[in-house]
Amino acid sequence: MTFTATNPATEEIISEYPALDSAGIDNALVRAHGAFLKWRSASVAERAASMTRAAEILESEIPVVAELMTREMGKTFAAAKGEAMKCAATMRYFAEHGESMLLSENLPTKGSRSGLRYEPIGAIFAVMPWNFPLWQVVRMAVPTIIAGNVVVFKHASNVPGSALYLEDLFVRAGFAPGILTTVFAAVEQVPAIIADPRIVAVTLTGSERAGRSIAAEAGKNLKKCVLELGGSDPFVIASSADMEHTVAMAVTARIQNNGQACIAAKRFIVVHERADEFIEKYAAAMGAVQLGDPMDPSTELGPLVSSAQRELLATQVSSSIERGAKVLVGGVVPERTGYYYPATVLTDVPEDSRASCEELFGPVSVVLEARDLADAIRIGNDTPWGLGASIWAQDDGEIDEAIAGLEVGTVFANAMVASMNELPFGGTKFSGFGRELSALGAREFTNVKSYFVA
């Protein structure tokens, strides 16, 4: 197997790296385990100092690494710069707050002293996706490393440059080799890595199918597993919504990262009394989205990551149209070099169509009409996934009803769903389990040790 980066805008091969053999993987695990034996004894303040330095270096190199991400997976240059800045901010956040998140806690019992300690457990194996080449790794790794663990990660095969950049960044920031290690491992090598005794836990961000496979291997080896999987996030428009703001944010929520985000809004559920207004304005706004070169500042929507991803999306749309879905804008693959697909809006989507039943990983919106807010919440929950959701309303009662009723890991009101350092991030149902970010994320891969002194 070869890790190959292809520019989705030009279809040109950028770089190629061979997968490691078993000896190469073993060397990486030896290095990671050795680094952990020293790193676990470092104070949180020492860990934070290196993390702050990593943030400083990253901030000084944002244009360089942003161009790398754009060339490897096609996100707009502006979005890539935003991703890099967010990564640096997360490094700074956990450097500043990690110590308080990991402090021992005193709990009252009949003993003279008792409580909890949060202790690192070892090398965590992470399987990472291509859609946010830096952020997905940083979101998982930074809190985990601050807690005293080390991370070995297998990145997606089409973003090898981003993987190598992150490993090199940490070394240049003063982290010992092995604290953050990338392994160019083939899929068939993953079970052996998970089974290796030097790996103590595993996490994956990716598809539901990949999640099932990783969870099975982790369970077989009695190792903790955290999964962040797909989503079909509902964007619920209530009666009291500020329509101008809602429409503008609906476009951003759907085309962010060229529509390739697990938490991107995918189903737009609008109550009957506002449906005509929303559909008319939203279709017009999506039709005006500028498709083009992701390095061009005027471009709003770049290419999909690969020809296979575009073919899948186009097939999902065309098969749904055959079953009766109506296309308001988009829906046609443009004749140009690059893996481009236009901003697309579907209505009258049959419940048994692919656009209704599958995650659409690209800039395609499904607009659904509900009788009222309760019905909109019911439709929003009518999916096997439960990652994120948003409610658009000015009435506090409608906001609270949606927050309470939507069966997801995260609900945002009058803002598009996002991962934030201060809040736990993760899903429910088939969107996975476990949490990243916040204090919960910092503690996710720790031994929560209880102690009691008589």
Q: What is the pLDDT of residue 1?
A: 84
Are 363 and 435 contained in the same domain? Answer: no
pTM recorded for the entire structure: 0.97
Are 203 and 289 contained in the same domain? Answer: no
Rg (CA), the chain: 22
Are 120 and 140 contained in the same domain? Answer: yes
Q: Is residue 219 part of a domain?
A: yes
Domain count, the chain: 2
Segment 262-303, tens digit of pLDDT: 999 999 999 999 999 999 999 999 999 999 999 999 999 999
Are 255 and 179 contained in the same domain? Answer: no
Owner of token pair 């199918």 = 209
Segment 149-197, tens digit of pLDDT: 999 999 999 999 999 999 999 999 999 999 999 999 999 999 999 999 9
Kindly indicate the confidence band of residue 52, based on its pLDDT and cuts at 50, 70 and 90: very high
What amino acid positions are annotated as catalytic residues?
228, 262
Q: Is residue 426 part of a domain?
A: no
Q: Is residue 307 part of a domain?
A: yes
Are 131 and 206 contained in the same domain? Answer: yes
Q: What is the pLDDT of residue 85?
A: 98
Structural domain of residue 274, as residue ranges?
A: 233-413
Q: Is residue 419 part of a domain?
A: no
User: What span, in angstroms and rounded, lies between the C-alpha atoms of 4 and 25?
Assistant: 19
Residue 56 has pLDDT above 90, yes or no: yes
User: What span, in angstroms and rounded, lies between the C-alpha atoms of 153 and 102?
Assistant: 23
Q: Report the CATH number that the domain containing residue 342 is assigned in CATH.
A: 3.40.309.10
User: What is the CA angle 32-33-38, rounded to 5?
Assistant: 95
Q: Convert 176-195 to b/e letters by CB count within 10 Å (16 or more is b).
A: bebbbbbbbbbeebbeebbe
Segment 235-270, tens digit of pLDDT: 999 999 999 999 999 999 999 999 999 999 999 999
C-alpha 397: how far from chain center = 30
What is the CB-side half-sphere exposure of residue 184 using CA atoms within 13 A? 20
Average pLDDT, the chain: 98
Contact (CB, 8 A) for 37 and 70: no
Q: What is the pLDDT of residue 393?
A: 98
Are 285 and 217 contained in the same domain? Answer: no
Are 94 and 12 contained in the same domain? Answer: yes
Are 177 and 104 contained in the same domain? Answer: yes
User: What is the CA angle 430-433-436, rounded to 5?
Assistant: 130
Q: Is residue 295 part of a domain?
A: yes
Q: What is the pLDDT of residue 294?
A: 98
Kindly indicate the confidence band of residue 109, based on its pLDDT and cuts at 50, 70 and 90: very high
Q: Report the CATH number that the domain containing residue 89 is assigned in CATH.
A: 3.40.605.10
